[in-house]
Structure 1
Amino acid sequence: MKVLIADAINEKGIENLKEYADVVVNTDISPEELLETIHEYEGIIVRSRTKVTREVIEKADNLKIIARAGVGVDNIDLDAATEKGIMVVNSPESTSITVAEHTMGLLLTLARKLSIADKSVKEGKWEKKKFMGVELRKKTLGVIGMGRIGSQVINRCKAFEMDTIAYDPYLPEGVAAQMGVELTDLESVLKRSDFITIHVPLTPETKHLISTDEFEMMKDTAFIANCARGGIIDEEALYNALVNNKIGGAALDVYEEEPPAENSKLFELDNIVLTPHIAASTKEAQRDAAIIVADEIIELINGSTPQNVLNMPRMDSNTYAELAPYVDLCEKLGSFISQAVNGKIKEIEIIYGGNLSEIENVEMLTRTVLKGVLNPILGSPVNAVNAQLVAKSRGIVVTEGRRDDGKGYDSLIKVTGKTENDKFSAEGTKLHDSKILKVNDYWVDVKPEGHMFIAKYEDVPGSIGKIGTKLGEHNVNIGVMQVGRDEKGGEAIMILTLDKEIPKDVIKEIQALDNVFDAVGLEL
C-alpha cells in the first residue's frame, strides 16, 4: 500500500508504518498538488492543515483509507468518502487525557485567578487581595457531554472532592450511575453548577447551545470552560454575561472564528482565560495520535477492520472479536443469494440466531452481507463502508431480525433475498470454515467457494443423471455434489462445486431439460 503523509506527525508513527507500506512524506503539499497526485495513493494521513474535499476524493481512484491524526474531521468530507467507499479513521483515544488535563488547568486558573495574577506580578505589582480565589472542593461540577474526555474530567474532579452532575441525552443512566454521576437535564446543570465544562461536538443542535438565556440561568459566581468546539458558546452572549457580571468567569480554548479577530472584545476582559486551541497539544498526544492512525492503516493492510472507522459502526474490542469470525460467512451468504435469486432484488432479510442474537451491535455483519449482495450486481466496488448507502440508493429494503434458536449450532445466520417474483434463502454458520447448512429450507452441507452451480428440479428418477450428463458433454467436472428435498417426488435442489466456471450456454441447456425448473451458476 502506498500512503501519503500530508501533514506533520510524530516520527514514531511514520517508522511503524514504513514496515508495512510505501510511505511518502510531503507535509508541504499544496491543494493543487494533492488534486494532481491523490490517485497514486491508497492511504493518506492528515491533521488539520490538509483539506480532503469532495473534489480531492472524486479524484482518489485508489484511495482506501483517510486517517486523521487527531479527533476532529472537519477538514474531511465524510459524505463524499462514504459514497466512494473510503474508510475515514481518527485517533480519539490519543487526546482524551491531554484535553482533560487542559480542562483541569483552565478550571484551576479560573478558580485561583492564575493568569491575571501572573500578569500582575510580571508588571511589578503585588496585589494579593485582588486575587482572592475559591476552592474546587465541595463545589458542583456540571459536565455537558460525558464522552471520553468528559468522563476523564469527572475522574479528575472527584480527586478534588467535587460533586458532579451531567447532561448527556445519549448516555444510559446506568453508565452514569456506575461513575457516580447524577444525570440530569441541561437547565439543571446550568442552574446548579459552580463550574461547567463542555465536551460535545459542534452540530446544528449544539450550535450556540450556551447563549443569553443559558447565561441567565447560571449562578453569578459560576465559571464555564470550553475545550470542545468553537461555536457551542455564543461569544457575543458570553461577552455580555462577563461584562455585566452575570457569571464569575469563562475559559476558552476554541472559538467561533480561529484565530479570533485581533479586535475581539473578549480580549478586553480580565475574567476570561484564553488559550490558542492547544488542549490536545502535548508531545504524548501527538505521539499517540501518530501511532494510532499508523496502526489503523496497518490493520487494513493485514486484512483486518480498523477500530476507529467514523463512517462504519464503532464497537468495543470484545464485540469485534465475537463478530470477526463471521465476516467471511456473511459476505459469502450475501454473494450466494445475490447470484441465486431471479430478478431485481427488492429486499434483503438477515436473521441472526443463537449466540449472535444476543450481541447488541451486529451492524458490521449486516454491512458485510450487503457488500456480498451488491458486488456481483454492480460495476463499481462496494465495501462495508458504503454498502448501506448503495443499497438504499438502489431501493433495497434491509430488514434485520433475531432468534434465540441456533438449530443445534452456536450461531446461525439466515439471509433471504426477495425480488418481484422470486425468493431465495441460505443459512450458514462458522465451524472450521464457512458452511451453508440450508438453502431454501432444504438441509445441505456446502462450503461456499469457487465455481458453483444450483439447479431446482423435480425429484423423479433420471433428473440428476440428465444434469450430470449435460455437464459431462461440455467437459465440466463435478467436484462436490449436495442435494436436498422436502419429500419424495417433490421439488428438490442440487448444489454443485465445479472444477471450472460453467458457461452460460450450458446453463441454458440445463434449464431447457425436462423436470428442471431453474438453474444458475455462481462465482464465490
Structure 2
Amino acid sequence: MKILVAEPMSPAAIELLRRQPDFEVIESNPKEYEQHLADCEALLVRSAVKVKADTLARAPKLRVIGRAGVGVDNVDLAAATAAGVLVMNTPGGNAVSVAEHTLALMLALARMIPEANASTRAGKWEKKKFLGNELRGKTLGIVGLGSIGQEVVRRARAFEMRIIASDPYVNPVTAADLGVELVPFERLAAEADYISLHVALTPETRNMINAETIARMKPGVRIINCARGELIDQDALNEALRSGRVAGAGLDVFSPEPLPEGHPLLSAPNLIATPHIAGSTEEAQEIVGIRIVEQLVEYLLQGVAINAVNMPAVAPEQYRAISPYIELAERLGRFAAFIGPENAQAVRLTYRGRIAELNTNLLRNAALAGVLSRSLAGRANLVNAMQLASQRNLAVTEAHQPRGGATDSIQVEIIAPAAATSVTGGVVMDKPRLLSIDGIPVEITLAGHLIYMRNIDVPGVIGHVGSVLGRNQINIANFSLGRQERPAAPGQPLEAVALVEVDTPASEPILAELRGHPAVRLAVTVEPGG
C-alpha cells in the first residue's frame, strides 16, 4: 500500500515506515503532494498541508490521515468523516517543547529581552530603560489544562507562580494533583497577570480573546498564545497593546499564517512574535514523527486506532479486548441487512456478557457499517457509520445486559414498519459465529458464501437442497439447521431455518430452484465477509 508523506518528517520516522514490507513510501512536499493522492491509502502531514474536501475527492483509496502534532484544524474533519477517512494525531508528543517555548515567551516579556538585545547590539547601554519584572508571585492563568497546559504548570511552579486554570473538561482530581485551582474563564481573565492559551480551535474558542474579554482583564496583563492564531481577535489585541491595556503579548501563532506584510499587529509595541515554532524542536519532531508512524502502522496492519480524532476513542488495551467483537458486529450487521426487511427505520443493538461493560461505541459503529454496507457498496465504515445512519434517519438504540447470558454476545435487530429481523452472534475460537436468527438457535461461522433459507418444518427440504446444489455442481462445506420451539401464532406451522455454506456462490437461477419447493419461503445468498 502507498503511504504519502506530504511534509518533512524525521529520518527515524521515515525509516520506520520503510521497514514495513507492504508499504511503498512516497516522500513529497506541500506544493507537489497532490499529484500522488490518487493511489495513496495513508497521508502523513504536519501543519502546512491543508486537507480539504477537494483534496479528499482526489484520494479515493485514502483510509487514514496522520497528523504529526496536536492541532487538526488543517484537516476538514467533516469531509474526512463523510469519506470514511480516519484522522489521528499525536497529542502530547511536542508538549514539552511547546511548554518550554511558552515559558521562554513569558520570560522574554517580563525581562524585555528582545528590546534589550537590540539596544545593546546597537551600541547602547540602557540599564534603567529595561527594568523588568519577576515571575515569582505573579498569577498565571492557563486556559486549557491538557497535556501542554500541564507541562506549563510544572515549569511555572518552579518560578513560584500562583497558577489558576480554566478548563470545563478537565477532571478536578487532575487539577488538584497539579496544585491548580480551577476557575471560570471570567475570573481567570480578571485575576491573571499572565494568560496562556492551550486549547483547540472550536466555534466556542474562536476569538475567545476579544475586545470584551480584554476589557475585563487586569490592566497590564501579558498574553501568550502557542496554540492557534484564531483564538485571538488580532485587531482587538493590536489596539490593546497600543493603548497599554495589555502590557505585552508573546505570539507563536497567527491568522492567517504568515501575516501579510504591513499587518498592523506586527508593528505593535511589546509584541514578541515567532513563526509557529513552539513545537519545532529536534526532539519534538522526532517524537511526533515516530509516534504518528507507529499509530499508522498499528491501524493499517492491526486495525487498532490510537488517538483517533473522528472516531470513538477507545484505549489501546480495551481496543484489543473488543477487536474480535468489532469484526463480529460488522458481520452481524451485514448478515442482517441481507436477510432483513427493506426500508429499515431503526437498528437496535444489544450487548450481553462482559462486553456489555466495555465502551461499545466502536461495536455500534461496526454494526451500523455492516447494516449500511450492502446499500452503500462498502462506503460505510467505523469512521462514518453514525453520520451515514443519521443522514438516512435511521434510529439507533443500544442496550447493555452484563448478566444477559452465559456467553458474550451481540444482537443486531433491523426494524421496518411491517417487519423486523434479529441476529445474534458471539466469538468462538477467535472467529465470529452466528448463534441465532429471530431467536431460533442456528450456528455457523460468519464467513464465506452462505445460503440462508426459511421454510415450513416438514420432511424433504434437506434432500431438496442437496439435490439442487448437487445437480448444479455446488459443493456444500457446512449445513446448519434450526427450528422454532413453538409456532409464531396459534394454528401456524413451525418454521425452520437453514444456513448452507458453499464453496462457490449460488446464482439466482439456483436460488429460484431452491424456492421451488412448496415448503421453502425464502432462499437468498449472504456474503458476511471474510
What is the TM-score when the length of structure 1 is the normalising length?
Answer: 0.90
Aligned residue in 1 for 2:394: 396
Determine which of 491, 497, 522 is the counterpart of 2:495.
Answer: 491
**Contact kept in structure 2, 1:453 and 1:519, CA below 8 Å:** yes
Determine which of 419, 423, 436 is the counterpart of 1:422.
Answer: 419
The answer to whether residue 520 in structure 2 is matched with residue 516 in structure 1 is yes
List per-residue Cα deviations over 1:375-417 (Å, max 9, x = no partner): 23333533222222333333332222322224012x3211111
Structure 2 residue identity aligned to 1:61: P
List per-residue Cα deviations over 1:136-185 (Å, max 9, x = no partner): 33433211122221222123223333333222233344443444433221
List per-residue Cα deviations over 1:454-484 (Å, max 9, x = no partner): 2223334445444445444444444232314
Aligned residue in 1 for 2:271: 272
The answer to whether residue 8 in structure 2 is matched with residue 8 in structure 1 is yes
Determine which of 363, 366, 388 is the counterpart of 1:365.
Answer: 363
Aligned residue in 1 for 2:200: 201
CA distance in 2, matches of 1:60, 1:487: 54
**Contact kept in structure 1, 2:73 and 2:201, CA below 8 Å:** no
CA distance in 2, matches of 1:161, 1:425: 63
List per-residue Cα deviations over 1:274-320 (Å, max 9, x = no partner): 22211111111122222223223322431423313332223332332
Aligned residue in 2 for 1:54: 53
| 2:481 match: secondary structure | strand
Indicate how the Cα distance of structure 1 residues 37 and 252 shifts in structure 2: closer, same or farther if over 3 A, else same. Answer: closer
CA distance in 1, matches of 2:389, 2:34: 29
Further displaced range: 306-315 or 188-197 = 306-315
CA distance in 1, matches of 2:357, 2:179: 28
Identity score, percent: 36
Q: 1:351 Cα shift?
A: 1.9
Aligned residue in 2 for 1:251: 250
Aligned residue in 2 for 1:377: 375
Q: 1:218 Cα shift?
A: 1.4
**Contact kept in structure 2, 1:116 and 1:270, CA below 8 Å:** no
Aligned residue in 1 for 2:490: none
Indicate how the Cα distance of structure 1 residues 287 and 275 shifts in structure 2: closer, same or farther if over 3 A, else same. Answer: same
| 2:231 match: secondary structure | coil
Structure 2 residue identity aligned to 1:8: P
Further displaced range: 368-377 or 239-248 = 239-248
Indicate how the Cα distance of structure 1 residues 142 and 514 shifts in structure 2: closer, same or farther if over 3 A, else same. Answer: same
Aligned residue in 1 for 2:18: 18
Indicate how the Cα distance of structure 1 residues 407 and 2 shifts in structure 2: closer, same or farther if over 3 A, else same. Answer: same
Aligned residue in 2 for 1:126: 125
**Contact kept in structure 1, 2:99 and 2:149, CA below 8 Å:** yes
Aligned residue in 2 for 1:439: 437
Aligned residues: 519
Q: 1:229 Cα shift?
A: 0.9
RMSD across aligned positions (CA) = 2.6
CA distance in 1, matches of 2:343, 2:88: 34
Further displaced range: 67-76 or 92-101 = 67-76
List per-residue Cα deviations over 1:176-231 (Å, max 9, x = no partner): 34444332211011112222111122233222211122112111243221111112
Further displaced range: 260-269 or 230-239 = 260-269
| 1:155 match: secondary structure | helix
Further displaced range: 235-244 or 73-82 = 73-82
Q: 1:522 Cα shift?
A: 1.0
CA distance in 1, matches of 2:502, 2:258: 66
Structure 1 residue identity aligned to 2:19: E
| 1:213 match: secondary structure | helix
Indicate how the Cα distance of structure 1 residues 499 and 231 shifts in structure 2: closer, same or farther if over 3 A, else same. Answer: closer
Aligned residue in 2 for 1:187: 186
Indicate how the Cα distance of structure 1 residues 261 and 448 shifts in structure 2: closer, same or farther if over 3 A, else same. Answer: closer
Q: 1:35 Cα shift?
A: 4.8
CA distance in 2, matches of 1:181, 1:401: 39
| 1:119 match: secondary structure | helix
Further displaced range: 340-349 or 480-489 = 480-489
Unaligned runs of 5+ in 1: none
**Contact kept in structure 1, 2:450 and 2:501, CA below 8 Å:** yes
| 1:94 match: secondary structure | coil
Aligned residue in 2 for 1:351: 350
| 1:73 match: secondary structure | coil
CA distance in 2, matches of 1:207, 1:234: 8
Indicate how the Cα distance of structure 1 residues 255 and 51 shifts in structure 2: closer, same or farther if over 3 A, else same. Answer: closer
Q: 1:103 Cα shift?
A: 0.9
Q: How does 1:36-435 map to 2 (within 5 A)?
A: 36-359=35-358, 361-409=359-407, 411-432=408-429, 433-435=431-433
CA distance in 1, matches of 2:239, 2:376: 58
**Contact kept in structure 1, 2:6 and 2:44, CA below 8 Å:** yes
CA distance in 1, matches of 2:249, 2:31: 38
Q: 1:15 Cα shift?
A: 1.2
| 2:246 match: secondary structure | coil
CA distance in 2, matches of 1:313, 1:515: 46
Indicate how the Cα distance of structure 1 residues 453 and 176 shifts in structure 2: closer, same or farther if over 3 A, else same. Answer: farther
Q: 1:25 Cα shift?
A: 2.1
| 1:44 match: secondary structure | strand
Indicate how the Cα distance of structure 1 residues 522 and 403 shifts in structure 2: closer, same or farther if over 3 A, else same. Answer: same
CA distance in 1, matches of 2:71, 2:113: 30
**Contact kept in structure 2, 1:45 and 1:69, CA below 8 Å:** yes
CA distance in 2, matches of 1:10, 1:285: 10
Further displaced range: 274-283 or 318-327 = 318-327
**Contact kept in structure 2, 1:106 and 1:251, CA below 8 Å:** yes
Q: 1:424 Cα shift?
A: 1.2
Indicate how the Cα distance of structure 1 residues 376 and 271 shifts in structure 2: closer, same or farther if over 3 A, else same. Answer: same
**Contact kept in structure 2, 1:166 and 1:183, CA below 8 Å:** yes
CA distance in 1, matches of 2:261, 2:472: 82
**Contact kept in structure 2, 1:486 and 1:492, CA below 8 Å:** no
Structure 2 residue identity aligned to 1:280: G
**Contact kept in structure 1, 2:4 and 2:36, CA below 8 Å:** no
List per-residue Cα deviations over 1:112-140 (Å, max 9, x = no partner): 33333333332333333433333333433
Indicate how the Cα distance of structure 1 residues 431 and 26 shifts in structure 2: closer, same or farther if over 3 A, else same. Answer: same
Q: 1:269 Cα shift?
A: 4.5
Structure 2 residue identity aligned to 1:515: A
**Contact kept in structure 2, 1:343 and 1:421, CA below 8 Å:** no
Indicate how the Cα distance of structure 1 residues 4 and 477 shifts in structure 2: closer, same or farther if over 3 A, else same. Answer: closer
CA distance in 2, matches of 1:28, 1:226: 25
CA distance in 2, matches of 1:445, 1:218: 68
**Contact kept in structure 2, 1:191 and 1:219, CA below 8 Å:** yes
Determine which of 440, 450, 461 is the counterpart of 1:452.
Answer: 450
| 2:148 match: secondary structure | helix
CA distance in 2, matches of 1:329, 1:45: 30
